Structure 1
Amino acid sequence: MGKPWQHGTTESFNGKLRDECFSLEWFRNRIEARIVIADWRRHYNEVRPHSSLGYLTPLQMAQSLRNCLSIHAISQMAVV
């Protein structure tokens, strides 16, 4: 199981989900809950900048990491 302070990233995300989504919405059924949560998750990952990522969205950060890895792989092939 673990304790909350052992899982800081998860606890931080859960707190944001609770404060920014669950506390503001009333779900009439599971389908509505799925839709609202999916919209929130999409916004959290694709629109909202995160200070811990240098004010990039997680999607932008993933794309920049992929680009860096691709450039690194190409440069390594040129060395060989």
Structure 2
Amino acid sequence: MKPARRRELANFLIAAYRVSIRRATAVIQLRQGTYFYRPHPCDDRAERQRIREIAPTRIRYGARRIHVLLRREGWRINHKKTYRIDCEEGLNLRRKRPKR
């Protein structure tokens, strides 16, 4: 079960049965740190847009080469983030079929 769903269950227990946060999280087996965690998603729209601009012009370039181009342009981006965006956008190259 995902942490967000467990958090909802903990909130339900707290509201319906008037138990403490400590007791509710213990029953659901949810850590209190996870209960209080608030996600802070990063905004990568600019990087995503630039990768989408590069990929059609440089058709044979994979995520590594696109990453090198971004670094040369001055973007401060991690290679893992470049690969993740490349995969999510469906820009990754198909593997060549082996010769038989």
Q: What TM-score do you get using the length of structure 2 for normalisation?
A: 0.24
Higher helix fraction (1 or 2): 1
Larger RCO, structures 1/2 (Cα 8 Å, 6+ apart): 2
Rg larger in structure: 2
